[in-house]
Structure 1
Amino acid sequence: MVGAGLAGLTCAKVLHEGGAEVEVFEASDGVGGRVRTDEREGFLLDRGFQVYFTAYPAARRHLDHGALDLRYFDPGAVILRGGGREVLSDPLRDPGALPSTLLSRSATPADKARVAALALRCLAGRGPEAAGEAGGEDASTLACLERRGFSRRFIDAFFRPFYGGILLDRGLSASCRVFSFTFRMMARGWAAVPARGMGEIPRQLAARLPEGAVRLESPVEGLLREGGRVRGVRGPWGEREADAVVVATEAPVAGRLTGEKVPEGSVGEVCLYYETSGVGAGKKVLLNAEEDAFVNNAVEISNVSGLYAPPGRRLLYAVVLGGFDLPDGELLRRGVEELSRWCPRADFRPLGLRRIPYGQFAQPPGVHATLPKNRTSTPGLFLAGEYTVDSSINGAILSGERAAREVLGR
């Protein structure tokens, strides 16, 4: 196994449960790939603002929610625009927000009725395992929303920043299938984080493997090939033969390592971390509805789980969709300027930032029909990674599960 991200760890777990001997080679100093949590000054800093949807079907098969000690976001969001704020929420799950939701000017009465109708349709059927398995003609998320009759006002005020944070693209150019799948997950479950950070997810998967099965700081530099098949891997640590090799890295790395065709393009984010005196949004996400937004969305994550910050202190995540070439100081300064306009009475002390240029592989309309299979045309070589399903935690886990079944011949 090459790579100890969610796909690689899930694949290794299923292979181990199926009686196979497994060894995982990971280039970095920890498991999780892009789903990791660092600690700084007693604060827990996830590598990017990520959430876990409890309705993810594949993830539910492999993760123990109770052991993760999940902490839940409140439904809805706080819309910030023109120096004011208003709340949009689900009155059935969040009855206290009913008055503000009814009075909200960000959505017309018809918009609110359409959201309710869409949620009811999501609850009525079983639905696909992954975004790429949704049926029907594909289009961009923006086209999908317009086709469903949502107003431009609602799209700009809510969908652009909210799904901009999920799709890492305020232009909403990603496949409508991704929008439909994530909407279904939110309608059927809750958005949450493990109490001690998103890094608990890969740690739980790794704990299901035999001791010593994961070799950290062990990069794979190439594949061993003989007679038209892959028979092992090599790195600075030596060579290791195997009956099957599963490459479970990010798409660009997998393409370079295997020569297989993988999706091109990516979208990313810069996550800014601040200690704050409080922004008054509770467990809801803050959405920047301004046309010239710098910070797309933010959340006081220590309100969701108090373990993200030392006792008596508060932690805020803010997401910038772009700005990768700006100096650290400029990113953090501009973040404070914008956050202060939203919350003029709050204080913000920069803790750091993380650039994530490859947050997801690009998912334009039609891409899911072109994704590579887990079993390649080369005997002994398999692929596992979100880019074989869809860009999500569920997609990564489902891909790992499917790759393992291919290896086991099931």
Structure 2
Amino acid sequence: MDTTEVIVIGAGIAGLRCALALAEAGRDVVVVEAGSRVGGRQRTDRVDGFLLLEPFLAGVIADDTGTTSDAFVRLLVRMFVLGRPGLPADGIQALPHQLARRVTDAGGRIRLSHRASRIDRASGRMRVEIDGAGPVIAETVVVAVSPDAVSNLIDVSRPRTRGLQTWWFDASAAPPSSAAVHVDGRRSGPVVNTVAMSHTVATYAPPGKHLVQATCLLSETRAPDEPQVRRHLEEIWGSRAGDWSVLRRDDIPHALPAQAAPLRVASPTRIAEGVFVAGDHRDTASIQGALVSGKRAARAVLSP
């Protein structure tokens, strides 16, 4: 049986940011992660020399129904106008990898392939059961798992989420040289945005090739197929899109927390005695929201 001061469940952006703040404050922290690598939804895979980013980055709001909070949309627009959008050279997973290194450098411990299945309170301490391993005992638990899994561990309502489907194409024939995100204002097909990723970061594709991403909305009633996507891409990019090879399709049913009106920017962090929660579903549906939520949770843990 292992003991520590704080257990952080989930090694996504929010969990790692929380663990970093706690470790830097001198707390003994253990991060347990069900997956085999850090990052949660922020993941990059290498396929035939191409770097694929998860669709969490590309979808932005994942909504074409008009039910997303106007305040949230204006907040996103302000970020794009005032900031300078970009991509890490090694893919979006470079961010959680950097956070994870800082956590371990500060004395925190990260345990991958450790799925937390249950949280109990006994004798004034928290007990986290780990599938296939012994429990971890701590004074405090921070639950920083994905929105579709959070209610499995603590007594909170399951957040509403939106799904995304992202297609990755090997474009041997170069698409137009623009690195801008392309959208179809007519909404004449399933693609909500598409971009030549390798025009922004050349290392995302092998020499002489090009990586094109296309994102569609995904729901229980909407799952675009390849012919629909290809027809729409040919309208957006031109006839050359018909010859592109599919590298992979990612279907992420819970890609983003829904941001319905009226917008509630920050939800409570403390759930019960010794139990806290963090994640973009507790703040804004963005990488920034995950970072802010993780730091808020750490501050709450450290408060007397």
- Regarding TM over 0.5, the answer is yes
Distance 1:322 1:260, change over 3 A: closer
Distance 1:333 1:283 in 2: 25
> Which of 219, 238, 245 is residue 134 of structure 2 equivalent to?
238
The separation in 1 between residues aligned to 2:56 and 2:259, in whole angstroms, is: 19
Structure 1 gaps of 5+ residues are: 52-164
* Aligned match of 2:149: 253
1:267 aligns with 2:274: no
Q: Note the alpha carbon deviations across 1:212-265, whole angstroms, 9 max, x for none.
A: 7111110000012125x65131112111111111000122311120112353x2
Are the equivalent residues in 1 in contact too, given 2:68–2:258 (CA < 8 A)?
yes
Q: Secondary structure at the match of 2:254?
A: strand
1:389 matched residue in structure 2 = 283
* Cα shift at 1:326: 7.8
As a proportion of its length, which structure holds more helix?
1
2:21 to 14, 27, 30: 14
For the Cα contact (< 8 Å) 1:273–1:318, is it kept in 2? yes
SS across alignment from 1:207:
helix
Contact 1:255 1:261 in 2 (8 A): yes
Q: 1:320 to 1:13 in 2, by over 3 A?
A: same
Deviation at 1:186, TM superposition (A): 1.2
- After superposition, what is the alpha-carbon deviation per residue over 1:355-399, rounded to whole angstroms, capped at 9, x for unaligned? 011111111102516x631112x2111111111111110000000
Task: Measure the CA separation in 1 of the matches of 2:227 and 2:91.
Answer: 26
- The structural deviation recorded for 1:322 is 2.4
Give the count of matched residue pairs. Answer: 291
Matched, 1:215 2:111: yes
Of the two, which has the highest radius of gyration? 1
Moved more, 340-349 or 185-194: 340-349
Show CA shifts across 1:21-52 (max 9, x none). Answer: 1110000111111111011001001111616x
Give the ranges of 4+ consecutive aligned residues of structure 1 lying more than 4 Å apart after TM superposition. 323-327
For the residues of structure 1 that align with 2:153 and 2:194, how far apart are their CA atoms?
37
1:205 positional shift: 0.4
Greater fraction of residues in strand: 2
1:114-193 aligned at under 5 Å gives the runs: 165-193=59-87
Aligned equivalent of 1:39: 46
Whether the 8 Å contact between 1:267 and 1:358 is mirrored in structure 2 is: yes
Unaligned runs of 5+ in 2: 1-7
Does the CA contact (< 8 Å) of 1:230 and 1:381 recur in 2?
no
Whether the aligned pair in 2 keeps the contact of 1:298 and 1:319 (CA below 8 Å) is: yes
Q: Quickly say closer, same or farther: Cα 1:49–1:304, change in 2 above 3 A.
A: farther
Separation in structure 2 between the aligned mates of residue 404 and residue 25 of structure 1, nearest angstrom? 16
Cα RMSD of the aligned pairs, angstroms, is 2.0
Q: Return the letter of the residue paired with 2:167.
A: L
C-alpha contact (below 8 Å) 2:19/2:298 kept by paired residues: yes
Does structure 1 retain, via aligned residues, the 8 Å contact 2:72–2:263? no
What do the CA deviations read for 1:296-325 (whole angstroms, capped 9, x no partner)? 110000000011111121000001112667
Letter in 2 for 1:180: R
How high is the sequence identity, in percent, across the aligned residues?
32
Q: Indicate if the aligned counterparts of 1:270 and 1:323 stay in contact, CA closer than 8 A.
A: no
Deviation at 1:172, TM superposition (A): 2.8
Instruction: Give yes or no for the alignment of 1:344 onto 2:243.
Output: no
